[in-house]
């Protein structure tokens, strides 16, 4: 595939077909290779893109803002060339996600994150170069495979072609998050990002092989020039020439592009005028793409804070992007066959530009909905302590209720084998606690939350440090567990050592009145086993949701065979196409401008994400929605004054004038040559008094 665009005259266009392509059912066989190539390539691209922001957040370890910034930087760079580079980039991305490469101590965490980050950035740069070369070329290349009499088949091809794009996007967005959610690894099991990136890489290899396999059947044109470069030179010459003739002694011209007539033909100038009119309409569009492409960043990160369990099936956070291709496949036929014809029957002139305006307003409403959803999410999230405060709650290890006094003022009772009602928020680092007639003072670091274990039943001989037997301070988590996992820990209130195993992870022996560390467990049924010093066991099944934290207390009165008492630490409730009004040889210029608006839109997002001046995520959603509404109004005004022009009529008009223009130019050139000859002869023969021309 090549990034050169052809500017040929009518005679050249007639002779561009260099060989006959084999056909099947009236279609060139070569297009089947192109369609399969496009399906595999789009599967590869969207599959990798679906899990990208979660890879940054959970594997690389970046925060939400940096993950969003790098994601949109990648999208903004996808406007260059080369398919084989694309394949190499996908393979490098898959390799970068293998944590075992640098996990020398086999603890499940890469020991050299710089290596993985560098590999990821290299892979993304190569993919950006590759996909940018494919996007503007494949559709046009497919259209070149048809003869002039195959207009109907060409139209059907483009329908199938764009269906393959959405099919690849749909399947990849569905499948790759499922692969990412699996656990894989040589030494330790982690989220399987290598598989999630590896499958798209394999599909890109298939795309490349299929495309090369059909090479002998393709009808290809030889590059005859770069129309984009020619347009830029024409515009540059017009600007320069108009500046050089800015004096009042030179008559003004109807359009500033008319100053290019001294060097460029009128047809090209007329085409450039039409392109500039359309490109002017592109100016507001980056704001739309700024919102649209956040489906893969901010919206995916928002989905990580919600419950994806719909009963019959579970949706992964990065699978929510599947809604876009699903709606395209469903809504496009409905809009084209039902909605737009109905609007036309109502005598409403619903032009493409008006449709775009309505679409932009609907996108703004979508972000208003995201803001309202974020407000609901924030209300259900734990209220973690600010930088100047601490949070404390109490867990009673005794069977009877205990009165607790904090700082000599706060008085409440903690039920037996139960916890106090919620966290207390204090603005001091040292607190004094009285429980059951015993007093203790503890030091806490600011911006932390703790669970305090209290016990006054005389078991002081179990520990040399009696303070901690009465008053054991536990450090609680201060943020929601990542990836929808659940943080579980065990408190041993029993009178002997206990061994805990949950799924395949053994936590080892836990001493009396001590606590295990947090263990992250995925949603669903969690089977854990408790074994005492005598070898007696107890099995328990805990049904887990998404992103919760649990403290499991084994009370002193526990006897094997009984139900384990559960205490939940954090109370979290979850909620569960391109431009057509372009001259035939200028579509590449408009396609470049269209892709540029996508790039600029993503740059807008990364600027806002890096600025990070808004304290709440919902406020950022409202900001984007407000900006798009303002831009939509500007776009509507611009569209109102836009005059639709049929480029084919303009081109036909100028082509009719071409013979006369050529004759006129030939006559002018002949006259100039004769005058030059006359002047030359006159200067050499001063005695000549008369000369016939």
Q: What pLDDT is recorded for position 634?
A: 94
Q: Check if the beta carbon of residue 72 is closer than 8 Å to that of residue 250.
A: no
Cα angle vertex 617, ends 367, 285, to 5°?
A: 40
Joined tokens for residue 272: 């450039």
Q: What pLDDT is recorded for position 133?
A: 66
Three-class SS string for 413-466?
EECCCCECCCCEEECCCEEEEEECCEEEEEECCCCEEEEEEECCCCCHHHCCCH
| Alpha-carbon span 422 to 472, nearest angstrom | 18
Q: What pLDDT is recorded for position 692?
A: 34
Q: Check if the beta carbon of residue 420 is closer than 8 Å to that of residue 414.
A: yes
Q: Look up tokens 């470049």; give the residue.
A: 592
List % helix, strand, coil for the chain (3-state, nearest 5).
50, 15, 30
Count Cβ neighbours within 10 Å for each residue of 399-422 and write b for 16 or more, e otherwise. Answer: eeebebebeeeeeeebeebebbee
| Alpha-carbon span 234 to 583, nearest angstrom | 16
Which is nearest to 456 in space by CA: 472, 475, 476, 432?
472
| Alpha-carbon span 568 to 441, nearest angstrom | 26
The helix/strand count (H/E) of the chain reads as 19, 21
| Alpha-carbon span 531 to 509, nearest angstrom | 9
Pairing of strands 486-492, 519-521: antiparallel
* pLDDT-flagged residues of the chain (< 50): 1-18, 79-81, 458-470, 562-582, 669-693
Joined tokens for residue 178: 């499922």
Q: What are the E-state strand segments in 545-612? A: 549-554, 565-568
Helix axes 64-76, 587-611, angle to 10 degrees: 170
| Alpha-carbon span 136 to 153, nearest angstrom | 21
Pairing of strands 448-454, 471-475: antiparallel
Q: Mind giving me the DSSP string for 241-279?
A: HHHHT-STTSPP-SSGGGGGTTTS-HHHHHHHHHHHHHH
Distances (CA, A) of 554 to 12, 179, 543, 558, 643: 86, 36, 18, 6, 77
Q: For the chain, which domains are there?
A: 25-223 (1.20.1250.20), 390-554 (no CATH)
Q: What pLDDT is recorded for position 372?
A: 94
Distances (CA, A) of 119 to 64, 115, 124, 164, 322: 20, 6, 9, 30, 27
3-state secondary structure of 39: helix
Q: What pLDDT is recorded for position 296?
A: 84
Distances (CA, A) of 450 to 420, 425, 596: 12, 11, 51
| Alpha-carbon span 324 to 326, nearest angstrom | 5
């Amino acid at each position: 595939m090549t990034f050169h665009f052809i500017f040929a005259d009518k005679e050249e266009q007639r002779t561009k077909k260099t060989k006959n392509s084999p056909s099947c059912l009236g279609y060139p066989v070569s297009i089947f290779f192109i369609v399969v190539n496009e399906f595999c390539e789009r599967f590869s691209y969207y599959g990798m893109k679906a899990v990208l922001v979660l890879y940054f957040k959970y594997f690389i370890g970046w925060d939400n803002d940096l993950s969003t910034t790098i994601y949109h930087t990648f999208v903004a760079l996808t406007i260059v060339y080369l398919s084989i580079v694309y394949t190499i980039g996908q393979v490098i991305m898959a390799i970068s996600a293998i944590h075992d490469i640098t996990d020398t101590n086999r603890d499940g965490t890469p020991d050299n994150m710089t290596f993985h980050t560098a590999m990821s950035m290299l892979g993304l740069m190569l993919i950006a170069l590759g996909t940018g070369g494919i996007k503007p070329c494949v559709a046009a290349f497919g259209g070149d495979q048809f003869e002039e009499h195959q207009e109907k088949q060409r139209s059907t091809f483009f329908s199938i072609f764009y269906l393959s794009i959405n099919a690849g996007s749909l399947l990849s967005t569905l499948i790759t998050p499922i692969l990412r959610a699996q656990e894989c690894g040589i030494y330790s099991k982690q989220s399987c990002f290598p598989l999630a990136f590896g499958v798209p890489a394999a599909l890109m290899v298939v795309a490349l092989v299929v495309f090369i396999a059909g090479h002998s059947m393709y009808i290809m044109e030889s590059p005859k020039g770069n129309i984009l470069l020619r347009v830029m030179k024409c515009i540059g010459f017009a600007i320069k020439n108009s500046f050089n003739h800015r004096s009042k002694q030179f008559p003004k011209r109807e359009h500033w592009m008319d100053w290019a007539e001294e060097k460029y033909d009128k047809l090209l100038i007329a085409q450039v005028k039409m392109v500039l009119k359309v490109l002017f309409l592109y100016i507001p569009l980056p704001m739309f793409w700024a919102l649209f492409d956040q489906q893969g960043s901010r919206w995916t990160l928002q989905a990580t804070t919600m419950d994806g369990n719909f009963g019959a099936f579970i949706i992964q956070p990065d699978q929510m992007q599947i809604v876009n291709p699903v709606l395209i496949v469903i809504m496009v036929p409905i809009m084209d066959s039902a909605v737009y014809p109905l609007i036309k029957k109502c005598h409403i002139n619903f032009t493409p530009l008006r449709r775009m305006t309505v679409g932009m307003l609907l996108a703004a409403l979508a972000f208003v909905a995201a803001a309202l959803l974020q407000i609901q999410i924030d209300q259900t999230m734990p209220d973690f302590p600010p930088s100047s405060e601490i949070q404390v709650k109490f867990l009673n290890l005794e069977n009877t209720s205990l009165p607790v006094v904090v700082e000599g003022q706060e008085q409440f009772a903690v039920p037996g084998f139960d916890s106090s009602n919620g966290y207390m928020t204090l603005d001091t680092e040292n607190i004094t606690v009285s429980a059951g007639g015993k007093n203790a003072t503890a030091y806490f670091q600011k911006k932390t939350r703790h669970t305090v274990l209290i016990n006054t039943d005389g078991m002081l001989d179990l520990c040399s440090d009696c303070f901690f037997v009465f008053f054991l301070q536990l450090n609680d988590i201060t943020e929601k567990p990542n990836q929808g996992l659940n943080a579980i820990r065990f408190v041993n209130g029993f009178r002997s050592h206990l061994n805990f195993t949950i799924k395949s992870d053994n936590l080892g022996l836990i001493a009396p009145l001590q606590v295990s560390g947090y263990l992250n467990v995925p949603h669903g049924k969690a089977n854990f086993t408790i074994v005492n010093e005598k070898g007696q066991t107890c099995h328990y099944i805990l049904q887990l949701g998404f992103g919760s934290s649990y403290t499991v207390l084994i009370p002193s009165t526990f006897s094997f065979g009984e139900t384990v008492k559960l205490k939940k630490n954090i109370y979290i409730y979850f909620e569960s196409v391109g431009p057509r009004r372009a001259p035939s040889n200028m579509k590449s210029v408009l396609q470049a401008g269209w892709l540029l608006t996508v790039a600029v839109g993503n740059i807008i997002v990364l600027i806002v994400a890096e600025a990070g001046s808004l304290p709440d995520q919902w406020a950022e959603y409202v900001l984007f929605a407000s900006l798009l509404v303002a831009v939509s109004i500007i776009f509507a005004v611009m569209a109102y004054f836009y005059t639709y022009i049929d480029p084919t009529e303009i081109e036909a008009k100028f082509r009719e004038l071409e013979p006369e223009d050529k004759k006129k130019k030939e006559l002018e050139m002949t006259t100039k040559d004769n005058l030059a000859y006359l002047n030359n002869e006159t200067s050499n023969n001063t005695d000549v008094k008369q000369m016939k021309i």
